[in-house]
A and B are shown apart, each in its own frame.
Chain A
Amino acid sequence: DVKVTQSSRYLVKRTGEKVFLECVQDMDHENMFWYRQDPGLGLRLIYFSYDVKMKEKGDIPEGYSVSREKKERFSLILESASTNQTSMYLCASSTPFAGGYRETQYFGPGTRLLVL
C-alpha cells in the first residue's frame, strides 16, 4: 500500500512566521506535488517536483517555496506566513507517465493550517 504522510494534521502559526510543511512517501515515486484546497476552489497546484532537486511552479506558487533534497521527502515552505495562506494543504505522489499509462496520484491526509 502506498503511504503518503504529512508531518502535521493541524498547525497554528502567527503572521510573519516561517512555516515548514513536510511530506514523505514510501513508494519511491519520482513525482511529488503540493496542493492547496479551499472551499469552492477545489485543489490548486502550488508546486510540483519530478525528481530530487527538480521543481516546477504550479498555478499558485506566490508566497511559497519548496525543497526536495531526498526522493521520498518534499517540503513546502511559507517564508512569511500570511492570513490568506490559511488553508488545507495536501501532498501527493505518483510515478511518471510512461508507456501510455498514467498512474494515479496518491494523497496524504492533509495539513490544516491556520495563520493568525
Chain B
Amino acid sequence: AQSVTQPDIHITVSEGASLELRCNYSYGATPYLFWYVQSPGQGLQLLLKYFSGDTLVQGIKGFEAEFKRSQSSFNLRKPSVHWSDAAEYFCAVGALGTDKLIFGTGTRLQVFP
C-alpha cells in the first residue's frame, strides 16, 4: 500500500540554522510528490512539487527538496531558517490511479531566535 512517513514529529532549530525535514514514501511507480506548509490556524499552502525531470526542486520561500529514488525519499531543505518558517510541514504523494493525495503525519517546526 502507498504510504508517506515523516519520521520527525517535532523539530527545533535556531534562526539562521539550516533545516532538513525528512519524508519517505512507499510507492509502486514514479511518484508525484508534494510538500505543503501550514501556518498556525491556516490551511495548507503548496511549497513545491516533483513530477519528473530534475530531482532537485525549488519552491517558494527559499525551500528546496531532493527526490532520491534509491532511498525513497523527498527531503525538504532550507539553508537558513527564518522565525516565520515556524509551522507544520506535510509531505504528500499522489495516490496511484486517482486524484487523491496521501499525506504524512506532519512535522512541526519550532524556530528559536
Contacts and interface: CB of A to CB of B under 8 A. Distances in A.
Interface of A: 4, 31, 33, 40-45, 48, 50, 58, 90, 92, 94, 96-97, 100-102, 104-110, 112
A42 B90 contact: yes
B103 A94 contact: no
B90 A97 contact: no
A51 to B, nearest CB: 11
Contacts of A109: 41-43
Nearest to A96: B99
21 contacts: A40-B9, A41-B105, A42-B90, A42-B103, A42-B104, A42-B105, A44-B103, A48-B99, A50-B99, A90-B44, A97-B99, A100-B51, A101-B51, A102-B94, A104-B34, A104-B49, A107-B36, A107-B43, A107-B44, A109-B43, A110-B42
Contact of A108 (B43, B46, B103): B43
B100 A102 contact: no
Given A31-B99, A48-B100, A104 B105 contact: no
Interface string B80-94: 000000000010001
B19 interface: no
Nearest to A106: B46
Contacts, number: 52
**Smallest CB-CB A-B distances: 4 pairs:** A107-B43, A42-B105, A107-B44, A43-B103
A75 B73 CA distance: 35
Contacts of A105: 101
A97 B101 CA distance: 12
Contacts of A31: 99
- With a 10 A CB-CB cut-off, give which of A43, A44, A109 has the most chain B CB atoms: A43
